[in-house]
Amino acid sequence: MWRTPLPPLAALLMTTALAACGGKAKTEAATPPTPVEAARVAAPEAAGAVTGAGTLERRREMALSFRIPGVLTAMKVEAGDRVSAGQLVAAIDPAGVDARQQQTMAELERARRDIERDKTLFEKGYVSRQRIDDRTSALKAAQAAYDAARFDRRWASLVSPASGVVLERRAQAGEVVAAGQVVARIADLSSPLVLRLPLSAREAARVRVGDVARVRVEDLAEQTLSGRVTRVGEAADTRTGAISVEIELSAPPAALRSGQVAHATLSVRTAPGATTTYARIPAEAVLEANGQRAFVYRFDHGKARRMAVGFGGFDGDDALVSGLPDGAQVITAGAGFVADGEAVRVIDPKRLDASRGQ
């Protein structure tokens, strides 16, 4: 009956255990060391890495909308079109604002006539000072209404505020659009291409302006681009709790487009104000983690030595620990099969696989 082959280290551990059971008559000194795998501990990290994924976009991207409602009579651009600053993008029927402008102009002219007439009567003593003050206030109100109507008339035509490219068109001629409704989005191509990276508060605390980043865009055949952090958000997203980190790309290829998804790896430092620096070890090396304390087996001159370490939690496939000297080796695979003070030997799983294949 065919059986699934055991992993190399598990098979070797089982062989060692069977050999030990079959040789009870032998002395303890003859028991072969238990094979284990180990990882060397780096210095408590002054630097590390934070990874994440986000979307590419131009730093200056504008959502264009009308200040007033109306019927869209012209839509002059399509997605992908190049536009120049001041170019007409869209227009609405100006009949409504024209009528309002004419009405406010008539009211302004009447207010001017009223105050001129009452000033003459005031000089002759026929009207009071209060009457003049009321006419003056009415004139100011009429002037303000006319200025507002004239300002609205300017917004019946929507022009591009910068030279760039149309990212999206959201309306068609003939539609009724509301005030503030986005009809087109335009990107200023003179602004840098940036990656907006949402990070957890814990990871964002380790990121600083100027940190180096490696950015990978899958659509570019895994090409790696360089960048640096230019902004770190001060507020978390109310829905996700994520903090946005902005990475500016250095000399991005022309093939990149706004909206593409990219992955970034940031070279960062420990969190500002942290009182403890942690080293990274494989998560499988940690035993009995409880709160801020855990245990590991350290490889010490052919022996497994159980020792307590500070525990800072898990970060992906790594565990954050403190209290281990630089260069120490911690037992990873096989840590659950050994005891404190037991003789062990470190094996190379690749070398073991190669020897079994011969």
* Helix intervals (H) in 124-159: 129-154
Residue partners of 132: CB distance under 8 A and separation at least 6: 115, 118, 119, 122
* Res 346 pLDDT > 80: no
pLDDT band at 266 (very low <50, low <70, confident <90, very high): confident
pLDDT band at 7 (very low <50, low <70, confident <90, very high): low
pLDDT band at 184 (very low <50, low <70, confident <90, very high): very high
What is the predicted pLDDT for the residue at 338?
73
What is the predicted pLDDT for the residue at 52?
86
Structure confidence by residue, pLDDT tens digits, 275-285: 456 777 787 78
Contact, 215 vs 226, CB < 8 A?
yes
What is the predicted pLDDT for the residue at 270?
54
What is the predicted pLDDT for the residue at 208?
85
* Res 179 pLDDT > 70: yes
More confident position, 186 or 124: 186
More confident position, 251 or 91: 91
CA 248 to chain centre: 12
Structure confidence by residue, pLDDT tens digits, 72-83: 999 999 998 999
Percent of the chain with pLDDT over 70: 82
Which of 10-24, 160-174, 193-207, 303-317 is predicted most confidently?
Answer: 160-174
* Res 200 pLDDT > 50: yes
Which of 86-95, 307-316, 335-344 is predicted most confidently?
Answer: 86-95
* Res 351 pLDDT > 60: no
What is the predicted pLDDT for the residue at 357?
40
Q: What is the dihedral of CA 49, 52, 56, 62, to 10 degrees?
A: -110
What is the predicted pLDDT for the residue at 277?
65
* Res 202 pLDDT > 60: yes
Strands 224-236 and 243-249: antiparallel
pTM of the model: 0.53
Q: How far is Cα 136 from Cα 279, in angstroms, rounded to an integer?
A: 76
Residue partners of 75: CB distance under 8 A and separation at least 6: 89, 90, 169, 171, 172, 173, 183
Q: What are phi and psi of 11, to 5 degrees?
A: -65, -40
pLDDT band at 234 (very low <50, low <70, confident <90, very high): confident
Contact, 121 vs 32, CB < 8 A?
no
Percent of the chain with pLDDT over 90: 25
Q: How far is Cα 255 from Cα 193, in angstroms, rounded to an integer?
A: 12
pLDDT band at 26 (very low <50, low <70, confident <90, very high): very low
* Res 27 pLDDT > 70: no
**Which domains occur in the chain, in start order?**
34-44+277-351 (2.40.420.20), 50-59+192-268 (2.40.30.170), 66-92+156-188 (2.40.50.100), 94-154 (1.10.287.470)
Name the DSSP letter for residue 113.
H
* Res 20 pLDDT > 70: no
Q: How far is Cα 58 from Cα 195, in angstroms, rounded to an integer?
A: 9
* Res 261 pLDDT > 70: yes
Bridge partners of 88, per DSSP, are 159
